[in-house]
Structure 1
Amino acid sequence: MMNPFKKNMGQLIILVFLMFYLNPVKAIQGKVLENQYDLVIAGATFSGMAAAINAAKYGHSVVIVEEYPIIGGLMTGGLSFTDFISYEALGGTFKDYMKRVEKYYLDKYGKRSKQFKDCHGGIHAEPHVTLQIFKEMLDEFPNIKVLVNHRLHSALMDKPENGTKVIKAAVCTDLESNTSVILNGKIFIDATYEGDLAAYAGAEYRIGRESRREYGEPFAGKLFFDKGKILVGSSGEGDHRVQAYNFRLIMTNDPKNQTKIERPKGYVREDYLPISDVLKQGKVSQVFIEKSRDGIFRSQMLPNNKADVNDIKNAPVRMTMLGENYEYPDGDWETRKKIIQRHKEHILGMVYFIQNDSSVPKKYKNEAKGWGLAKDEFIDTNNFPPRLYIREARRIMGEYVFTQNDVNTIGNSLIVALKEDAIAIGDYALNCHGVSPGSLYPSIAEGDFNFIPPPFQIPFGVIKPKGFSNLLVSVAVSASHVGFSGLRLEPTWTALGQATGLTAHLALEKDISISKVDVKEVQDLLHQNKAKTAYVSDIDGDSPYFEAAQFLGVRGFLHDVYLMKENEMPGTETYKSIRGTQYAYAFPFHELEPNEPLELQLAEKWMERLDSTKLRNEMEVYLEENPLTRGAFLLKIYDTIKSQEL
């Protein structure tokens, strides 16, 4: 695909010529002199901040450049009810954030408070609380500099090294002073939702849907999907369409903390009249609803009687604007601004109509009037969230492309195939809110699908763009449209951000290109920092077995444990909700059970995985003399391997 930013390449070449040839002193010794960093990160998403924190803790100088006035991306911009399935999948920097959130609500409101309960172990926080915690996390590292209100507009390239591209600097505009800032760096990370830095640097990327033929993905291309089945009319043809966007409103039913939604500029009543027909037909049980899909707005509750209000997949009335975002990923800033404004006007007009229009039945109107924007959130933007929920934009093609096939299970088991180069795990559905209005099936959005696989590993290659020596990507990662739908969650993006930060650290420490960084060294650092590369449902970061389980988990030792019960798996219920929430108890058949006696069959499998005869013999002798539990033997193997490495 042609890089659209090349249309500005002529202007960029002239700019660089003027800077470096006509006025070299100003270009080198002016404002840019202080902007030399070890690591330059585009995007103050939580993924970008996780990358910064994990590089900065090893002493590297880091700058994060962010277009918006506040840090945090979607997590401070409306998306507060965070998507994942089981708590056992969360670790590392994201788990650190959760602990801080939980402590905040504990300290402020007490252990028996509703606020403490509603934070669900630190996974749900009001946006202003998340912003405060993010600032505190960054403030712990004085070697991290954050530039907000700075918009990227190009990348300066250095001479290629061994046929690979090298980024020299990221160029951005200070939106307050309207001046250019050049950020020189050794390593660059693109943590934007759009993949802008990588695109400016000339990286290969995809937008839209692959055909079913390209990767053999059942959910690829044109699709009609309902109740677990692919319906007639699903051709599987690829196109340029991307998953629908919407704002995540923060609303409240507390009258003391409400801002009433007024009639928005550009409001056209006729656009919303079809909603009245749907309501009169009884297809909607209530306007704001927490669980079922026969509502209009998904109101997922947060502390202090607030709700993260989101779109409901295949609801009778949709909050998203299906088909209105196709030009966003590759659009210039003016194009994106118009799309963002259109989405804002749409949702404000929609709420205003339901709350006020004479055609809306009183039952629904009165219910809707009980809600308003939370007046203590997003104060600088009239209580409206500053970020549009970009579910998918560009996908930067890397050394590995994550697809639907990467969540396929082994045989008849509930275990996904091993990825020895895993740098993170995912635990969520392959999930798309649709790409266009339904045509064959009026109640089903075209392109919608939802499928919950077992927890899966994410390989190193998805964060390494093809053909670059000093660029990593942590959000717009390398995946197909279907594969990306299972990666597009803030906990997963944050885990990938942590991995990019540690990869950058190793490249800087050793003065090598990204391609030469050893994934095993990345994994070791991840494990030391309590990040997870293998899903082990009963071993968390505070366990004495954690590093051993993670280290040997990417080497297949845990698969040996799980697959011993393969004949018990068919027909097993895999999703068991926790207290009626969308979150579930740990996925079955993924436990180590470290205190269980070590079975001979398992001991033999583990010893077969050892690299050397000497090591196997040593373990056999040790086992004969010391009857062990699973955990103790796993720890012994780990300690022996690590001591030999030293």
Structure 2
Amino acid sequence: MKKQLTAIFISLLFFQLSISAVEPMKPQEFKADIIIYGGTSAAITAAVQATRMKKTVIIVSPDRHLGGLSASGLGFTDTGNKGVIGGLAREFYHRVYLHYQDKQSWPWQQQTEYGNKGQGTPAIDGTDRTMWIFEPHVAEQIMEDFVKENTLKIYRDELLNRESGVLMKNGNILAITTLSGKKFIGKVFIDTTYEGDLMAAAKVSYHVGREANTTYGENWNGVQTLVFQHQHHFATKIDPYKIPGDKKSGLLAGISNETPSPNGTADDKLQAYCFRMCLTNVPENRVAFPKPDRYNLLDYELLVRVFNSGWKALFNKYDPLPNRKTDTNNHGPFSTDYIGMNYDYPEASYQRRKEIIAAHENYQKGLMYFMATDPRIPKDLQQQLNTWGLAKDEFKDNGNWPHQIYVREARRMIGAFVMSENEVLGKKEVPKPIGMGSYSLDSHHTQRYVTPEGYVQNEGDIGVKAPKPYGISYNAIVPKITECKNLLVPICISSSHIAYGSVRMEPVFMILGESAATAASLAIDNRTAVQEVNYNQLKTLLLKQKQTLNWNGKP
């Protein structure tokens, strides 16, 4: 009898398995007032604020690690004027301060040896109890602390189905579905990705590339040949051909054969991406620069010619983090920026994006390995470089390499209001401010080309100082009401290319994430479209949250 029951059970089990193979399970459904798509710093501040507003919230993160660039190497914070950083963003930097007050947080260096260098401000501000410079793992832990303390629901490694995963009705998003089949139903949605994937999938208008100066009455948008404001250009005449002087030999790697359009005109090109490397010169914590999977000496021939021309400023951008580490960014005419190799990234499939990211990783790892090992590198620089390496205690599950590539710019929404350089430079007033920016108009190079004289040159580098902090309009984070009524976009905001060069700073993203969640909560409470949120109500709440909305002359 027992054998018969066992046989029946096994038969039923195989029957159920065969049915499930033919009829897939229905997607799992999850509901909340606010659905946040993204795992960036803006995602976390938005979720925390939604919880404080007594709303249910779910974070749907395409990433496993939280915090975006803040937790992926960009620890030498682009603060601009720290006086305009308030709310949860300032709380984040306060928590950084508290972390480094503990002696246990300094395993590789005494705090007194660290110094106090920051970008435009001291690294440690004892008066305000904030610290603006930090190691990657510290930022990620603070993000995880926010998640734990606020009991945030988060689904990681969940990629939006960009083809058919946004369900809309009468201009409202009803639900989003991920590639794994999970369905998230909400009242208001917030896109906190660097790419603007939810915004694009919801058919909201956006732009990729540089607008013409005439589009928004600007001076620094569009193509900008022979404009060198950060000195990351070729200062001497460098031959671009594989065989010097021989055009028939072809161009060296990374040099475009296209002729740039006239200055101020539009194109579809993007400023370059890179990884913000966390390096260390502590021998016990240092990992030698690894040889990448794809390594080609010819990729770096142009760098040899730069060194041969007399340039030796290699170590000018190793910005100090605590514990003898660095936030190492692009510096010089040939550096970590992989110029011209990201143009298709914003619209690319997930698979294609992986390929682009892998190519950037190969290039940048190869660059470091090349400089550390090739005999043509000046010996003094090579010896100095080899005192550095990847930090063994950072990005432990990724070969000590950053989790997130620096997507400096991808899609930008065309919303109810477009921020331009005129607002950033104080030429025009900003309606309905919900936070402030203060950084310079900042764009990295966009293309590497051959000049009419026959030499290699970079193009796209802009750095124009904002005279004072400026407001960022609420209307710049909401789509046109005719396109979507319940979506907020605090990262890929409605902005021109060059204005975005100032907005695109991590503290600003945290600020806008918090403001977006506050507005979302008001839209839910008042049953209005996000475009119809009462600004006076919103302003009152933001000021209670200690957000800064107007410049009052603080240092």
TM-score when normalising by structure 1? 0.72
Matched, 1:132 2:133: no
C-alpha distance 395-55 of structure 1, shift in aligned 2 (>3 A): same
Map Cα deviations across residues 438-461 of structure 1 (whole Å, 9 max, x no partner): 443967521211101121111111
Partners of 1:448 and 1:266 in 2: CA distance: 29
C-alpha distance 237-123 of structure 1, shift in aligned 2 (>3 A): same
Query: Aligned AA for 1:197?
Result: L
Q: Contact 2:430–2:471 at 8 Å: present in 1 too?
A: yes
Query: Aligned AA for 2:31?
Result: Q
Q: Contact 1:125–1:303 at 8 Å: present in 2 too?
A: yes
Structure 2, unaligned runs of 5 or more = 1-21, 118-122, 126-130, 234-259
Where does residue 552 of structure 2 map in the other structure? 536
- The structural deviation recorded for 1:261 is 1.4
Matched, 1:471 2:487: yes
Matched, 1:192 2:193: yes
Which of residues 25, 32, 37 is equivalent to 1:37?
32
Q: Within 5 A, what are the aligned runs for 1:566-577?
A: none
Partners of 1:462 and 1:482 in 2: CA distance: 15
Partners of 1:379 and 1:170 in 2: CA distance: 32
Q: Within 5 A, what are the aligned runs for 1:466-545?
A: 466=480, 467-538=483-554
C-alpha distance 397-23 of structure 1, shift in aligned 2 (>3 A): farther
Q: Within 5 A, what are the aligned runs for 1:69-148?
A: 69-108=64-103, 113-114=112-113, 117=116, 119-121=123-125, 122-142=131-151, 144-148=152-156
Query: Aligned AA for 2:146?
Result: M
Map Cα deviations across residues 164-214 of structure 1 (whole Å, 9 max, x no partner): x111111113xxxxx311111110000000000011111111000111221
Partner of 2:401: helix, strand, or coil?
A: coil
Partner of 1:450: helix, strand, or coil?
A: strand
- The structural deviation recorded for 1:120 is 2.6
Q: Contact 1:267–1:349 at 8 Å: present in 2 too?
A: yes
Which of residues 319, 328, 341 is equivalent to 1:300?
319
Partners of 1:183 and 1:48 in 2: CA distance: 16
Which of residues 254, 270, 278 is equivalent to 2:298?
270
- The structural deviation recorded for 1:529 is 0.6
Partners of 1:433 and 1:459 in 2: CA distance: 25
Matched, 1:152 2:160: yes
Partners of 2:144 and 2:425 in 1: CA distance: 39
Matched, 1:50 2:77: no
Partner of 1:478: helix, strand, or coil?
A: coil
Which of residues 330, 346, 361 is equivalent to 1:311?
330
Map Cα deviations across residues 210-249 of structure 1 (whole Å, 9 max, x no partner): 11221121112111213599x9985211011011100111
Where does residue 449 of structure 1 map in the other structure? 462
Map Cα deviations across residues 10-55 of structure 1 (whole Å, 9 max, x no partner): xxxxxxxxxxxx999x64xx621xx011000011111111111111
Partners of 1:234 and 1:533 in 2: CA distance: 38
Partner of 1:288: helix, strand, or coil?
A: coil
Partners of 1:392 and 1:236 in 2: CA distance: 19
Partner of 1:189: helix, strand, or coil?
A: strand
Query: Aligned AA for 1:159?
Result: K
Query: Aligned AA for 1:306?
Result: K
Query: Aligned AA for 1:352?
Result: Y
Query: Aligned AA for 2:321?
Result: L
Partners of 1:42 and 1:227 in 2: CA distance: 36
Matched, 1:425 2:429: no
C-alpha distance 159-280 of structure 1, shift in aligned 2 (>3 A): closer
Partners of 1:186 and 1:371 in 2: CA distance: 50
Partners of 1:258 and 1:228 in 2: CA distance: 30
Matched, 1:342 2:354: no
Which of residues 253, 257, 271 is equivalent to 2:285?
257
Query: Aligned AA for 1:139?
Result: K
Which of residues 336, 359, 362 is equivalent to 2:376?
359
Partners of 1:369 and 1:41 in 2: CA distance: 43
Identity of aligned residues (%): 32
Where does residue 583 of structure 1 map in the other structure? none
Where does residue 295 of structure 1 map in the other structure? none
Q: Name whichever structure is richer in helix by fraction.
A: 1
RMSD of aligned residue pairs (Cα, Å): 2.3
Q: Contact 1:210–1:221 at 8 Å: present in 2 too?
A: yes
Partners of 2:149 and 2:267 in 1: CA distance: 45
Partners of 1:499 and 1:23 in 2: CA distance: 43
Q: Contact 2:423–2:429 at 8 Å: present in 1 too?
A: no
- The structural deviation recorded for 1:116 is 8.3
Q: Within 5 A, what are the aligned runs for 1:552-631?
A: 586=555
C-alpha distance 112-352 of structure 1, shift in aligned 2 (>3 A): closer
Query: Aligned AA for 1:472?
Result: L
Q: Within 5 A, what are the aligned runs for 1:140-289?
A: 140-142=149-151, 144-154=152-162, 155-160=165-170, 165-173=171-179, 179-224=180-225, 225-227=227-229, 234-285=262-313, 287-289=314-316
- The structural deviation recorded for 1:537 is 2.9
Q: Contact 1:102–1:116 at 8 Å: present in 2 too?
A: no
Map Cα deviations across residues 598-642 of structure 1 (whole Å, 9 max, x no partner): xxxxxxxxxxxxxxxxxxxxxxxxxxxxxxxxxxxxxxxxxxxxx
C-alpha distance 183-233 of structure 1, shift in aligned 2 (>3 A): closer
Q: Contact 1:316–1:443 at 8 Å: present in 2 too?
A: no
Map Cα deviations across residues 322-345 of structure 1 (whole Å, 9 max, x no partner): 111000000001111111001000
Where does residue 11 of structure 1 map in the other structure? none
Q: Contact 1:284–1:316 at 8 Å: present in 2 too?
A: no
Q: Contact 1:116–1:303 at 8 Å: present in 2 too?
A: no
Where does residue 611 of structure 1 map in the other structure? none
Q: Contact 2:230–2:461 at 8 Å: present in 1 too?
A: no
Partners of 2:458 and 2:159 in 1: CA distance: 34
- The structural deviation recorded for 1:112 is 5.8
- The structural deviation recorded for 1:417 is 4.2
Q: Contact 2:36–2:47 at 8 Å: present in 1 too?
A: yes
Q: Within 5 A, what are the aligned runs for 1:344-423?
A: 344-409=361-426, 417-423=428-434
Higher relative contact order at CA 8 Å, sep ≥6: structure 1 or structure 2? 2
Q: Contact 1:503–1:522 at 8 Å: present in 2 too?
A: yes
Between stretches 220-229 and 301-310, larger displacement belongs to 220-229
- The structural deviation recorded for 1:158 is 3.2
Partners of 1:251 and 1:529 in 2: CA distance: 36
Partners of 1:391 and 1:266 in 2: CA distance: 25
Partner of 2:461: helix, strand, or coil?
A: strand
Query: Aligned AA for 2:469?
Result: P
Where does residue 576 of structure 1 map in the other structure? none
Partner of 1:152: helix, strand, or coil?
A: coil
Partners of 2:346 and 2:465 in 1: CA distance: 27
Find runs of 4+ consecutive structure 1 residues off by over 6 angstroms. none
Partners of 1:53 and 1:194 in 2: CA distance: 22
- The structural deviation recorded for 1:117 is 4.6
Where does residue 461 of structure 1 map in the other structure? 475
Partners of 2:344 and 2:176 in 1: CA distance: 24
